[in-house]
Amino acid sequence: MPTGEAMTDTSPLRSSRTGHSSAADPAAAATEAIVSALGDTTPQPEDVVFLFAGGGYEPRPLVDAGAAAAAPARLVACNTILGFVAGSGIHGTVALHVPGGELGMGVAAAREQDGDLHEASRQAAAEAKAAAGPTGSHSALLLLSSGHIGGQRDVVQGAYEIAGARVPLVGGAAASDEQMSPTWLGLDREVIGQGVIAVWINSSRPLGVAVEHGWAPVSGPLMVTRARDNVILELDGRPALDVYMEQRGPLAEGEAPFGWRTLDRPWACPPSTAPSRCGWSRAPPTTVVWRCSRTSTTSRSCGSWGPTPPRCSTVPARPSVEPSNGWAVSHGPCWSSAAPRVRHCSARRPPPRRPR
């Protein structure tokens, strides 16, 4: 979508708009992107402006400038690797202005305390729901979480306790650059290192929720027969690394050495410090599209981003679109409860409640 162009909207809701900036200065990048997204409209207190910042910007000046440009609307921000506008990848900053109009939107954030992402997500979801006001005919919950914390399943489970089965959950994790810099979230002028931001949306009209991962399978489905947290130990009863390499196969002519980059030295960092990026599959319902990024030659295991429990069907994958350096354009993780693709591969039943 061209910068500042309104999305097609035939409903009485005011149109949303996007903007972007590639300015090197973080404050200038945030301001330019948001001003472009606002166009000739005046932001209102019930509006939300999303700001996705690539390029390794310093968060404090970017968030401060973004909050000032978006005011009196709420600012929701996070860092990322790449944004998309009009089908093109943007390494700078991308902004999205979502007018309130007939939407009732509540925004809240919670910091992770003692590693408890479940409680942080639950708290953020509850506060966002309360801030959104009376429940509309249709609701959805959008979640943004810190990226380098693993345990994204806990984010889903905590929010689910508040939203229940009827409210779609959709969201993603902040992402850093190739140097694996820290990820961050921003709410208005607050910068959050580890935590969750929730945006509860109420509407009198149906809300469409969809997720796509951008990965292409390189084999048939495999069964995870043994796993520990985010380390897959066995596939189909055999060492995971051996099976993965067999399924990955040789590089196609002209293909970037993706397998080497992700297995030997992902992101030009030691394997022990580089979490993977992954996407989730649409079908079958309990299939995960998965990428191996950290390996152990001792256990012959493969590490992924989040927990992959046993009895979860998985498909080794490569990015369907790769830039010249061979790194993936698709970033994750992303998850949604609106379709049968939940992280713990038990889409046909709700996440279990944790003892409190």
What is the average pLDDT across 3-16?
A: 51
Beta bridge partners of 341: 336
Alpha helices by DSSP H, 171-305: 240-248, 258-263
Give the integer Cα–Cα distance in Å for 97 and 16.
Answer: 6
The winner for highest mean pLDDT among 10-14, 76-80, 227-231, 273-277 is: 76-80
Higher pLDDT, 246 or 289: 246
The winner for highest mean pLDDT among 52-56, 123-127, 350-354 is: 123-127
C-beta separation of 329 from 339 below 8 A: no
Q: Which of 196-200, 220-224, 264-268, 328-332 has the lowest mean pLDDT?
A: 328-332
Give the integer Cα–Cα distance in Å for 298 and 230.
Answer: 17
The winner for highest mean pLDDT among 88-92, 106-110, 142-146, 347-351 is: 106-110
Tens of pLDDT, residue by residue over 275-332, are 333 222 222 333 344 445 445 555 555 555 444 444 444 555 544 433 322 222 222 3
pLDDT classification of 229: cutoffs 50, 70, 90: low
pLDDT of residue 251: 55
How many residues in the chain?
A: 356
Cα angle 320-324-325, degrees, rounded to a multiple of 5:
100
The two tokens of residue 312 are 């979860």
Tens of pLDDT, residue by residue over 154-163, are 888 999 999 9
Higher pLDDT, 263 or 333: 263
Give the integer Cα–Cα distance in Å for 254 and 177.
Answer: 25
pLDDT of residue 87: 60
Label the pairing between strands 195-203 and 138-145: antiparallel
126 Cβ neighbours under 8 A, 6+ residues apart? 108, 162
pLDDT of residue 255: 52
CB atoms within 10 A of CB 123: 22
Tens of pLDDT, residue by residue over 59-93, are 999 999 999 999 999 999 999 887 777 666 667 89
Give the integer Cα–Cα distance in Å for 23 and 45.
Answer: 27
Coil vs helix vs strand at 189? coil
Judged against a pLDDT cut of 70, whether residue 264 lies above it is answered with: no
- In the chain, where the domains are located: 17-203, 215-331
pLDDT of residue 299: 59
Task: State phi, psi for 51 to the nearest 5 degrees.
Answer: -130, 115
208 Cβ neighbours under 8 A, 6+ residues apart? none
Mean pLDDT across the chain: 71
Peptide bond into 72 cis (omega under 30): yes
Express the helix, strand and coil content of the chain in percent, nearest 5 each. 20, 30, 50
C-beta separation of 281 from 320 below 8 A: no
What is the average pLDDT across 254-271?
A: 40
Coil vs helix vs strand at 241? helix
Q: Which of 171-180, 254-263, 278-287 has the lowest mean pLDDT?
A: 278-287
Give the integer Cα–Cα distance in Å for 144 and 266.
Answer: 24
The winner for highest mean pLDDT among 8-12, 203-207, 343-347 is: 203-207
Task: Encode burial over 184-193: b for 16+ CB neighbours within 10 A, e otherwise.
Answer: bbbbbeeebe
The two tokens of residue 33 are 């992107």
What is the average pLDDT across 102-115?
A: 89
